Amino acid sequence: MLKRIYRLGKPARLVGDRGYGGQFFNVRLARNGLLHNRYAFVVSKKVDKRAVIRNKLKRRLSACIEKMFSKIKTGYDIVFFTKKAAVFQTVENLYAEIESALKKEKLLG
């Protein structure tokens, strides 16, 4: 699980954001003026009604971010909005999609 300092709270707003639409999720990111990144994972009830599945998906995405944590450039707020297709994917597929999204936004160093 990501430490609290790396989590983006609910009342946060992304100002001057840009995004990426992928197969399993949409990513929105904006500069935050800090020396570290903050992440949020949004899984709505439209994705799956069961809280167990939604929480499992959040944990999987969080684990993918933790794996590539040292490679990601700092100073951004990053929000992942999941799609229904993400529920049935393995961690490896989610990792590859996150990696390609961050490369497209030039955040992997």
Q: For the chain, list the strands marked E by DSSP.
A: 18-21, 25-31, 38-42, 76-82
Q: What is the DSSP string of 68-79?
A: TGGGBPSSEEEE
Answer yes or no: pTM beyond 0.85: yes
Alpha carbons within 13 A on the beta-carbon side of 103: 7
pLDDT in tens, 49-62: 999 999 999 999 99
Report pLDDT for 44: 94
Report pLDDT for 92: 95
Q: Which residue has the higher pLDDT, 69 or 15?
A: 69
pLDDT in tens, 38-49: 999 999 999 999
pLDDT-based confidence at residue 15 (cuts at 50, 70, 90): confident
Report pLDDT for 11: 67
Domain 22-104: state its class: alpha beta
Give the Å distances, CA to CA, from 19 to 28, 54, 80: 4, 22, 10
- End-to-end Cα distance, the chain: 23
Provide the residue count of the chain: 109
Under 8 Å between Cβ of 9 and 79:
no
Give domain limits for the chain.
22-104
Cα(50)–Cα(60) distance, integer angstroms? 16
Q: Which residue has the higher pLDDT, 18 or 92?
A: 92
Residue range 14-19: average pLDDT? 77
